[in-house]
């Protein structure tokens, strides 16, 4: 009984629990919206939305890398109780993010035409809306990164809930208004915009300290960490995005829509367990900064990710039609039954890879960038070569993710021992 109480009181478990509550509620709302979209949009329109969502996800990748860098240094300052440095670092980061968001908006605006051609879209306005979604996401990511650095996990949970409500309402209203595939895109835009403004509530303390003290930025240290960390997160995220994009490129629109639905159901595993490495990352930085023990925290994170992931995968294997009826409303999507279990296995392996990558980045072990890049490129090349059906695409991803996980664990045991 005492062991259970200690586990529940553990900062990784409690922080993950808060994020899990917000995430599960937001995911339920997202599930309801996706169910609504899948049932009310044509297969072609839903496939368009899913492929553009994958493009957006890829564009988000630099934000994930930048957030990793921000959390790394902001948590370090916070752990040392240097709130003046946290404040100054926020404003320096904000200037960079504002410039980057505007640059990305222009970049994707220019890419609207070639993007439409590659994905075989008949409306260039998809690219324009995608540009808006990406730019506002980068602004919001700054606030979320600092909330994570300050260990404000209950508020992040609340933020996820608010965003989920906005996304659901906007998405449904836009479908009824006849916006088709645009409905999902606009729902993401307004969700992110709302979250951006709400996030300022707990950050008022940081904003009020702007003029207290200027800090000297350790440029060399940040660059030495930032570049490999950026590419690590960049290529890691491509694992769950490039398959959807390549399927959209190689398969017809209906098949691409089916695979998008399969990817949606599989990623439930990742979103269900994602709060754990998100909480683990700043906690590991804090412990490393203060010279505290950290290995048990890593093992606990792996365990907390593995158990629910394998249970959900098992459910997918045993009850694929029930799952498809629940998420996609059945219909022709039932043809995905034979693929659902193995796709769940792939996402389970990837979720464990994500924990390992977050562990290494928290300890400045950026050499893993080579492992991740090679694996991601290997996945893309193999899917280009082997894409006769969904089975080939999925088994390519499983094989590459398994090799990467084994490599990372081998490197861990060699570097840190048990």
Q: How far apart are CA 263 and CA 347, in angstroms?
A: 9
C-alpha dist (Å) from residue 110 to 102, 114, 236, 418: 13, 8, 26, 50
| Helix-strand-coil split of the chain, %, nearest 5 | 85, 0, 15
Phi/psi of residue 181, nearest 5 degrees: -65, -25
Q: How far apart are CA 126 and CA 107, in angstroms?
A: 14
Phi/psi of residue 409, nearest 5 degrees: -65, -40
pLDDT in the model for residue 7: 53
Q: How far apart are CA 344 and CA 263, in angstroms?
A: 9
376 close to 238: Cβ distance less than 8 angstroms? yes
Q: At what angle do helices 11-40 and 253-273 cross, to 10 degrees?
A: 160
Q: How far apart are CA 57 and CA 62, in angstroms?
A: 10
Local structure of 319: helix, strand or coil = coil
Tokens of 222: 């940040």
Q: How many domains does the chain have?
A: 1
Domain that holds residue 125: 2-416
pLDDT in the model for residue 80: 79
Q: Which residues contact 134 (CB under 8 A, 6 or more apart)?
A: 56, 59, 60, 104, 105, 108
DSSP for 201-258? TTTHHHHHTTTT------HHHHHHHHHHHHHHHHHHHHTTTHHHHHHHHHS-HHHHHH
123 close to 116: Cβ distance less than 8 angstroms? yes
pLDDT in the model for residue 209: 67
Cα dihedral 295, 297, 302, 303 sign = positive
User: Over its length of 418 residues, how does the chain's per-residue pLDDT go in tens digits?
Assistant: 554 555 555 566 666 677 777 777 887 788 788 778 877 877 778 878 877 887 887 777 777 778 878 888 888 888 877 777 788 888 888 888 999 899 988 988 888 788 777 777 777 788 888 889 999 999 998 998 898 888 888 888 888 889 989 999 998 998 888 888 888 889 999 999 999 999 988 888 777 765 555 556 566 777 788 888 888 988 898 888 888 888 878 888 788 888 888 888 888 898 888 888 888 888 888 887 777 777 888 998 999 999 999 999 999 999 999 988 888 777 788 888 999 999 999 999 999 999 999 999 888 788 999 999 999 999 999 999 998 889 999 999 999 999 999 999 999 998 887 6
CB atoms within 10 A of CB 163: 25
Find how far residue 54's CA is from the centre of its chain.
11
Local structure of 314: helix, strand or coil = helix
Cα dihedral 108, 229, 21, 51 sign = positive
DSSP for 343-386? HHHHHHHHHHHHHHHHHHHHTT-GGGHHHHHHHHHHHHHHHHH-
Tokens of 36: 């609504």
pLDDT in the model for residue 339: 93
Q: How far apart are CA 106 and CA 261, in angstroms?
A: 31
First to last CA, the chain: 27
Q: How far apart are CA 203 and CA 63, in angstroms?
A: 19
16 close to 279: Cβ distance less than 8 angstroms? yes
């Amino acid at each position: 009984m005492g062991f259970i109480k200690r586990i529940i009181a553990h900062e990784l478990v409690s922080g993950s629990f808060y994020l899990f509550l917000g995430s599960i509620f937001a995911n339920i709302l997202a599930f309801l919206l996706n169910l609504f979209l899948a049932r009310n949009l044509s297969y072609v329109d839903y496939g368009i939305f899913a492929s553009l969502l994958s493009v957006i996800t890829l564009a988000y990748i630099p934000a994930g890398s930048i957030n990793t860098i921000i959390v790394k240094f902001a948590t370090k300052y916070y752990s040392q109780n240097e709130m003046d440095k946290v404040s100054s670092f926020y404003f320096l980061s904000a200037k960079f993010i504002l410039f980057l968001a505007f640059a990305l908006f222009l970049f994707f605006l220019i890419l609207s035409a070639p993007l439409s051609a590659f994905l075989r879209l008949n409306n260039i306005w998809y690219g324009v809306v995608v540009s808006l979604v990406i730019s506002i996401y980068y602004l919001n990511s700054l606030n979320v990164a600092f909330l994570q650095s300050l260990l404000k996990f209950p508020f992040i949970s609340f933020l996820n809930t608010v965003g989920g409500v906005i996304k659901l309402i906007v998405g449904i209203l836009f479908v009824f208004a006849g916006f088709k595939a645009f409905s999902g895109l606009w729902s993401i835009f307004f969700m992110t915009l709302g979250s951006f403004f709400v996030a300022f509530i707990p950050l008022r303390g940081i904003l009020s300290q702007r003029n207290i003290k200027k800090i000297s930025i350790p440029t060399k240290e940040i660059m030495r960490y930032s570049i490999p960390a950026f590419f690590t997160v960049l290529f890691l995220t491509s694992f769950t995005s490039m398959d959807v994009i390549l399927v959209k490129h190689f398969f017809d629109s209906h098949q691409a829509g089916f695979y998008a639905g399969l990817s949606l159901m599989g990623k439930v595993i990742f979103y269900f367990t994602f709060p754990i490495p998100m909480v683990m990352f700043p906690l590991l930085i804090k412990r490393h900064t203060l010279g505290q023990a950290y290995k048990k925290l890593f093992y606990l994170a792996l365990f907390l990710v593995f158990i629910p992931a394998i249970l959900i995968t098992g459910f997918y294997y045993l009850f694929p039609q029930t799952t498809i009826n629940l998420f996609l409303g059945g219909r022709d999507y039932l043809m995905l039954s034979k693929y659902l279990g193995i796709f769940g296995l792939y996402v389970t392996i990837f979720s464990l890879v994500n924990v390992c990558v977050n562990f290494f980045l928290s300890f400045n072990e950026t050499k893993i960038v080579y492992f991740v890049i090679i694996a991601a490129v290997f996945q893309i090349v193999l899917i280009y070569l082997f894409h006769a059906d969904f089975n080939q695409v999925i088994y390519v991803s499983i094989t590459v993710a398994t090799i990467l996980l084994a490599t990372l664990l081998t490197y861990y045991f060699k570097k840190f021992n048990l």
